[in-house]
Structure 1
Amino acid sequence: MTRPPPVVLLCGGLGLRQRSDGDDLPKPMRLLPDGRPLLLHVVDYYRRFGVREFVLCVGYGADAITRLLVETFAGSSAQTATGAGWLRISGVDLRITLVDDGPYAEKNARLLTARGHLDDKPFLLGYADVLSDLDLNRLIDRHRGTDAALTLVATRVRSRYGELRVDAACRVTEFHEKPTRTALVSAGYFMCSPQLFDVLRPELDFEVDVLPQLTASGRVGAVVHEGLWLPFDTYKDFIDAEDLVAREGFRWLNPA
């Protein structure tokens, strides 16, 4: 059986859409209905697919995230090691490396730092504020069968508002309450080849510059996911997740 690739998790941003005055809790540290932080659910999701090696790019709230992971995973059989800007927790079946570029570093800079903790092999890339019931093996298998620099997961989103059509006489002819949009969006799950690092520059933006550049050169593949997708961008997203758990349980821990 092929060993699953390592995953790099981006969890160092400021999370400004979540924050209000006096609220300085990092988004990955926010609690879900079982009382566990979002980040632990994200880690558990990847572990269900056999992922054992994690590189976490931390920044804002790094101390709180580091403390959580040490308390959760640095048991009697685990060892910790530190270096300039990084800390590693190594256990029997798990290795977590935290690399800290500060709260203001761009994604490309964080990825370039993470490179020093990866072998020269394909790796998974994801965000620490997204959950889904995606079968991760679909992404891995799709990427391994291509020469793409990066393969992403695409999904559809529901509109946050009711959508309508109005005719020339200003009459509403159609109304749909928060419909699912037809356009696909990036779901925040990627499988990357080492050649990705050839186009990363610290001054460039990953989504604005790098992804369009790779797309224009035909080096981006995709897997379409039609199932559950939960991006935790706003406080309302956490409230919606609570409602989902009450109805259906933790679906992301039982991927399709």
Structure 2
Amino acid sequence: MKVVLLAGGLGTRISEQSHLKPKPMIEIGERPILWHIMKYYSQYGFHDFVICLGYKQYVVKEFFADYFLHTSDVTFDLTNNSMEVHNNYSEPWKVTLVDTGLNTMTGGRIKRIQPYIGNEPFMLTYGDGVCDVDLDNLLDFHKSHGKTATMTTVNIAQLKGVLDINEENVVNSFREKAETDASLINGGFMVLNPDIFSYIKDDATILEQEPLQRLAQEGQLMSFHHNGFWQCMDTQREMKKLEDLWQSGKAPWKIWEN
């Protein structure tokens, strides 16, 4: 199963960093947060990634093109123009990097990667947030209900999409969050069936608006509630929080050894 990562936005709320690089390339523990997300999925056996790019897309492409330069010791022999990579641990990843447009909205980005997905379910999340959700349980839940979409939901004070969920975990409605809300919110880490593409019109479609609202109205959007750790990185303060967790050795999303 492929994992689609949304990594093309401007990241204006953390412009202190994002004016230099895309937000998913901002580093936590000297590795882009995008890398942390991919490492997490990989621990559950998901190794095939499709990354939706836009703003400063070349930064992401250069990172993967020169992956060993970022992650390994190297020796350059200038006399014969050669490079030796030391301790070159290789991630078991296949990474497809797709230019989905500079100003394309989230739904439009997903529509653009349809040729790389085919007629199969896929994982989807944002390229700026980490958590410790059990991805195996998430996928099992999605398979069990047969609906188009499953979204991981969390209860935290963030300006994300608000959900009205019934006792059977069906999402009855989806709307933008107000600062006074204390409801469950969209935490990303979704599983989507391929018919999601029929809910997306064009580049101007925002996934979190008409498509998710329509899915909710049709009873096709399900909630997988997560009570554990979840944190996005919209601000400098949130970036520092994640960095502090990493440096403390207690980052909840770090479930790998190396």
**Interval of TM-score (by shorter of Structure 1 and Structure 2):** 0.7 to 0.9
Is the Cα contact below 8 Å between 2:130 and 2:231 reproduced in 1? Answer: yes
Residues 22/93 of structure 1: CA separation in 2 closer, same or farther (3 Å cut): closer
Q: Which residue of 2 aligns with 1:197?
A: 197
Residues 128-147 of structure 1, C-alpha deviation per residue, up to 9 Å, x if partnerless? 10100111112111111122
Q: Which residue of 2 aligns with 1:150?
A: 149
SS at the partner of 2:205?
coil
SS at the partner of 1:14?
coil
Q: What is the distance in 1 between the residues matched to 2:91 and 2:132?
A: 27
Residues 203-238 of structure 1, C-alpha deviation per residue, up to 9 Å, x if partnerless? 322111111110001001111001100101111110
Q: What is the distance in 1 between the residues matched to 2:249 and 2:112?
A: 39
Is the Cα contact below 8 Å between 1:138 and 1:223 reproduced in 2? Answer: no
SS at the partner of 1:126?
strand
Q: What is the distance in 2 between the residues matched to 1:250 and 1:21?
A: 22
Shift of 1:94: 2.3
Q: What is the distance in 1 between the residues matched to 2:193 and 2:117?
A: 11
What is the letter of the counterpart of residue 233 of structure 2?
F
Residues 73/125 of structure 1: CA separation in 2 closer, same or farther (3 Å cut): farther
Q: What TM-score, normalized to structure 2?
A: 0.77
Is the Cα contact below 8 Å between 2:157 and 2:182 reproduced in 1? Answer: no
Q: Which residue of 2 aligns with 1:80?
A: none
Residues 138/25 of structure 1: CA separation in 2 closer, same or farther (3 Å cut): same
Name stretches of at least 5 consecutive residues in structure 1 with no aligned partner: 76-90, 161-180
Q: What is the distance in 2 between the residues matched to 1:237 and 1:101?
A: 27
- Picking from 7, 10, 17, the partner of 2:3 is 7
What is the aligned-residue identity percentage?
A: 28
Is the Cα contact below 8 Å between 2:17 and 2:26 reproduced in 1? Answer: no
Q: Which residue of 2 aligns with 1:233?
A: 234
Q: Which residue of 2 aligns with 1:141?
A: 140
For 1:5-154, what aligned pairs fall within 5 Å after superposition?
5-20=1-16, 23-32=19-28, 34-72=29-67, 93-154=92-153
What is the letter of the counterpart of residue 245 of structure 2?
L
Q: Which residue of 2 aligns with 1:210?
A: 211
Is the Cα contact below 8 Å between 1:152 and 1:187 reproduced in 2? Answer: yes
Residues 19/217 of structure 1: CA separation in 2 closer, same or farther (3 Å cut): same
Is the Cα contact below 8 Å between 1:48 and 1:253 reproduced in 2? Answer: no
Q: Which residue of 2 aligns with 1:164?
A: none
Shift of 1:242: 2.1
What is the letter of the counterpart of residue 112 of structure 1?
K
Q: Which runs of 4+ in 1 moved over 4 A?
A: none
Residues 75-134 of structure 1, C-alpha deviation per residue, up to 9 Å, x if partnerless? 9xxxxxxxxxxxxxxx99421101102221111221111110113111001111010011
Mean Cα displacement is larger for which, 215-224 or 91-100?
A: 91-100
Q: What TM-score, normalized to structure 1?
A: 0.78
What is the letter of the counterpart of residue 141 of structure 1?
D
Q: What is the distance in 1 between the residues matched to 2:103 and 2:122?
A: 24
What is the letter of the counterpart of residue 24 of structure 1?
L
Q: What is the distance in 2 between the residues matched to 1:207 and 1:159?
A: 15
Is the Cα contact below 8 Å between 1:143 and 1:150 reproduced in 2? Answer: yes
Name stretches of at least 5 consecutive residues in structure 2 with no aligned partner: 72-89, 160-180
Shift of 1:243: 2.5
